[in-house]
Amino acid sequence: MTPETVLEFSRTLPWGAIGPEGRRQAWTATAAECAALAQRFAIPAIHDFAVTLQLEHERGGTIRCRGRLVAHVVQICVVTLDPVEQVVDEAVDLRFLPPGREATDDPEGPDEIETERGSIELGEPLAEQFSLALDPYPRAPGAALPEMDAEEDEAPEAEAPARPNPFAVLKGGRK
């Protein structure tokens, strides 16, 4: 992120705000933040967006963040193009790395987020988790693609025009 980057849902905690016993945190997005996130992810609306998190210190100086993200959204049905109300309910599991430490490529572990200047930006990784949890093909109840006849499904094979054989001139020329 660059200093001029504007985050639609920014939630920053100082690194020291997570005490030895950990920290429980809950946030709800404002109406303006919901509208900005909806615009960013090209969906008609986000009615509410809430997270509950438990942050705890781990060995190696990292902070583990586990919790739940719940949002009520409106998406567009891919069949009827009607608005569809849906609930996004997603588990959150993130690991924040101390400044200067680089993320590993462990596919089994939680997403690792690098931090800067002694603070943890939780909002952007949560917005990214939300975008990944959105239904990529939302459908209205009962919406179905129309059945296609077998004849319509198969394209007619065009008969290729007969091409002259380039070796025809040689046929019978030598005996």
Predicted TM-score of the model (pTM)? 0.75
Dihedral (Cα; 116, 7, 110, 53), 10-degree rounding:
100
Whether the pLDDT of residue 4 is over 60: the answer is: no
Whether the pLDDT of residue 38 is over 70: the answer is: yes
* Percent of the chain's residues with pLDDT above 70: 87
Domain boundary assignment for the chain: 12-140
Whether the pLDDT of residue 155 is over 60: the answer is: no
For 47, half-sphere exposure in the C-beta direction (CA atoms, 13 angstrom radius) is: 10
End-to-end Cα spacing for the chain:
82
